Amino acid sequence: MSGPTVYLETLGCAKNQVDSEKLVAMLSEAGYGWAESPETADVVMVNTCAFIEEARAESVNAILELEQAKRPGARSVVIGCMAQRFGTEVAEALPEVDAVLGIDRYGELVGVLDSLTDWHPVEMRRRPVMDILHATGRPGTGLPYAYLKVAEGCNKPCTFCAIPSIRGKQRSRRPSEIRSELAGLVASDVSEVVLVAQDLAAYGRDIKVPGGLPDLLAFVSDVEGLRRLRLLYLHPREISERLLAAMTSNPLVAPYFDLSLQHVSRHLLRAMLRPGNPEKHRSLVGTIRDLDPNAALRSSFIVGFPGETEADVDELADFLEDARLDWGGFFPYSAEPGTPAATMDGQIPRELIMERLRHLTDIQDQITEDKNRELIGMVDEVLIDQIEDEIPVARSHRQAPEIDGIIRLDRGRPGEWVTVSYEGVYGPDMEATVH
């Protein structure tokens, strides 16, 4: 018997994407089908983001657009971080939504959909809260890469961040569960696996896993068919010599370092309860490049944190010029309800924040383009992700999926690893010819 169909739209980060893929597996197991558009679905569902104000606005817009697009009689469900953090407010502000389920209620999702659609052919036990993290069932995405969440939550006390209040304390998965899920992904034609967590480098500490992340990398590296491991979200306090050695000595681990620096100003970092200063940040970048001169470095930075001065912005600009990171992401400070920073003195006007953000982004964009130009004529190995407008699109170790630039090729098929020569640069993107 064919069950009701669901259309699921996912917003936010890669960790949210993993949650959605596991929910797809869970609902498929319960007999639900999947619609290609909201107009043909029995249930439209949005997995929301609530990290910053812009993300919440995007989530609300997506909900309203799906409400307009869905067919008469279809049900609508809101899940994810915004539902977790502002569930009551969402339900009151959007009475047209039929159900709002936060992350800690994912175990109830099958029952809620059964009730909304009046469909009960499959009796399922109520799943415990942590099933969404530990279950290994994942549907194929049709892409040669996949994200794998190794832990949930965060113990860091960053004053600007609401993640601990949304996702809770860090809860790491057992190495055997991670390896099993990774092997399943590779068996479905995934050859690059991207490890993610809110605090990836602190993996295992909460469950006393010996060796932590360095040993986990070694433990999963011999899965047959795996070609590349990539790590996202490395907190500077957790980047040890042992982790750097494990990353740079393992040929399967991409020499790609996603450093969550956030700023360089001493007084701002102290106010954020973040580690480091300009000298320490420069030293970390230098250490990584000494270990691997071909390493790609990325960092995210908050612009407009309370108390930020023009001198602080100039200091960050100087750091960008000196460090010459491959990639940089700049995010306007958002005063998140319930966080200590939201009530700090020295809140910066939005217009000034955006002016500073544009200035810093322009600096980094030029650096990224210049670093790309340095690669012209060089030979590299890349993974073809997909075909866009009849052009194969690929990535090397320098590009993480969905956040960095891409490489356009003259030929090739998705899933292929090919050797190329770089021939052109278009801002963050490149062109290359397949050998």
Residue 257 CB partners (closer than 8 Å, separation 6+): 231, 234, 247, 288, 295, 296, 297, 298
User: Can you tell me the distance from the alpha carbon of 384 to that of 374, in angstroms, rounded to the nearest whole number?
Assistant: 22
Per-residue pLDDT tens digits for 9-43:
999 888 888 888 888 888 888 889 999 999 999 99
Average of per-residue pLDDT values in the chain: 92
H/E element, 391: strand 391-395
Collect all residues with Cβ–Cβ distance below 8 Å to 208 and sequence separation of at least 6: none
Q: List the domains of the chain with CATH numbers.
A: 5-117 (3.40.50.12160), 140-373 (3.80.30.20), 379-434 (2.40.50.140)
Cα gap 149→14, rounded to integer Å: 9
C-alpha closest to that of 261 among 296, 230, 240, 285: 285
Q: Which amino acid is at 419?
A: T
Residue 147: what are its φ and ψ, rounded to 5°?
A: -90, 145
* pLDDT on residue 130: 47
Distance in angstroms (rounded) separating the CA atoms of residues 302 and 347: 13
Query: Is the Cα dihedral 358, 359, 361, 365 positive or negative?
Result: positive
pLDDT score of 12? 87
- In the prediction, which pLDDT does 397 show? 98
Q: Give yes or no for a contact between 305 and 266, defined as CB atoms under 8 angstroms apart.
A: no
Provide the pLDDT for residue 132. 61
Q: Please work out, in degrees rounded to the nearest 5, the angle formed at the alpha carbon of residue 118 by the alpha carbons of 112 and 122.
A: 75
- In this prediction, residue 123 carries a pLDDT of 57
pLDDT at 381: 97
Give the H or E element holding residue 261: strand 256-262
At 258 the three-state DSSP class reads strand
End-to-end CA distance of the chain: 50
Q: Can you give the length of the chain in residues?
A: 435
CA distances from 154 to 136, 179, 200, 201 (A): 21, 22, 9, 11
Which residue ranges in the chain fall short of pLDDT 50? Answer: 127, 129-130
Residue of 235, 243, 232 lying closest to 194 (CA atoms) = 232
Inter-CA distances, 281 with 76, 125, 255, 276, 319, Å: 46, 50, 18, 6, 9
Predicted local confidence at residue 50, as pLDDT:
85
Residue among 285, 305, 307, 310 at smallest CA distance from 296: 285
